[in-house]
Amino acid sequence: MAIVTSTEMFKKAYEGGYAIGAFNVNNMEIIQGITEAAKEVSAPLILQVSAGARKYANHTYLMKLIEAAVIETGLPICVHLDHGDSFELCKSCVDGGFSSVMIDGSSRSFEDNIAVTKQVVEYAHAHGVVVEGELGTLAGVEDDVKVSAEDSSYTRPEEVEEFVTRTGVDSLAIAIGTSHGAYKFKPGTKPQLRFDILEEVSRRLPGFPIVLHGSSSVPQEFVRMINENGGNMPGAVGVPEEMLRQAARMAVCKINIDSDLRLAMTGTVRQYLAEHPADFDPRAYLKPARENIKELVKHKLIHVLGCDGKA
Ligand code: G3H
Ligand code: 13P
Ligand code: ZN
């Protein structure tokens, strides 16, 4: 197997009523944990790299680690730029061997979003690379972007046909009430997603793959490990897994997960070091962290995304 685009993955996922997991990667242990899980349950994968991940780990290191994972697992893996904010960044990832890029023009005006997305699509398609666009703005925090709840906005279904037709994008991220990070809904309130918007978007774009960002469920076992071992994350709450499962049965073909991996890694490391205060070998605490990422991802692939056995 080689690095592939998401075209075939999305076609099968749409028809099969499941979704592909798009997991953010920043280092070797995260890549190993995710890809070992996918290998065990034979799931197709999208590994995504943010601008922050590229700054942290370097494009070439991440690319070579992912190439190693393809060799080790024999899985179809799509390598995707997460939240590209400019043509130049997207071009650099296309030139550097990614098979998919996201151009996130969601904070621009509708016309500016169309213009930059179209420019990226033209360049990417000429190089055999697929493109994800975004309409609607998610709340939350990424490395380079902070969007407050007041500035977030749901996707307007009446805009999606024009956006997709004029840009030529291969998939579309929409905002239906999820947000980035570990604080998605007010603790004690019932999490709500606008499935009516998702339904209306898919009615207007039949067969077209939709993407859901901000899809971590924020497992409370890892939040507890963090809070009991010197951390401070009261009120961290995520998207209920049954809602993600429902979205995966609908037109959502790609579900983005990053915060859950961070929680699994950090919770495990904090707990390990609290229990073994004299240990100073990084392998000692990174090994259980990698193992917990693997277990978390296996759970997502089987019980949330439903893509086990689909590689
Ligand atoms: O959606 C954002 C991802 O979680 C990436 O976050 O920009 O901090 O790497 P980052
Ligand atoms: P989470 O913060 O919910 O993991 O979302 C990640 C994401 O959308 C990456 O693009
Ligand atoms: Zn995102």
pLDDT per residue over 245-291, tens digit each? 999 999 999 999 999 999 999 999 999 999 999 999 999 999 999 99
- 132 vs 255: CA distance, rounded Å: 13
Query: Which residues face 102 on adjacent strands?
Result: 132
For 191, phi then psi, to 5°, come to -60, 135
* Mean pLDDT, residues 186-213 taken together: 97
Q: Which residues contact 68 (CB under 8 A, 6 or more apart)?
A: none
For 75, phi then psi, to 5°, come to -90, 155
Residue in the structure block whose two tokens are 């009991």: 228
- 96 vs 12: CA distance, rounded Å: 27
Write down the pTM of the prediction. 0.97
* pLDDT value of residue 148: 74
Active site residues: 82
pLDDT per residue over 127-185, tens digit each? 999 999 999 998 776 666 667 776 679 999 999 999 999 999 999 999 999 999 999 99
The SS3 call for residue 223 is helix
Regarding the beta carbon of 134 and ligand 2, being less than 6 Å apart is answered: no
* pLDDT value of residue 141: 63
> Atom of ligand 2 at shortest distance to CA of 182?
2
Nearest Cα to Cα of residue 25 among 301, 291, 257, 283: 257
* Mean pLDDT, residues 81-102 taken together: 98
> Atom of ligand 1 at shortest distance to CA of 56?
9
* pLDDT value of residue 144: 62
Regarding the beta carbon of 142 and ligand 2, being less than 6 Å apart is answered: no
For residue 181, give the ligand nearest its CA. Answer: 2
For residue 144, give the ligand nearest its CA. Answer: 1
Q: How far is CA 89 from CA 98, 112, 183, in A?
A: 12, 17, 28
pLDDT per residue over 50-71, tens digit each? 999 999 999 999 999 999 999 9
* pLDDT value of residue 142: 62
Regarding the beta carbon of 209 and ligand 2, being less than 6 Å apart is answered: no
- 81 vs 99: CA distance, rounded Å: 9
Phi/psi-derived region of residue 277, left when phi > 0, alpha when psi is between -120 and 50, beta in every other case: alpha
Share of the chain above pLDDT 90, in %: 94
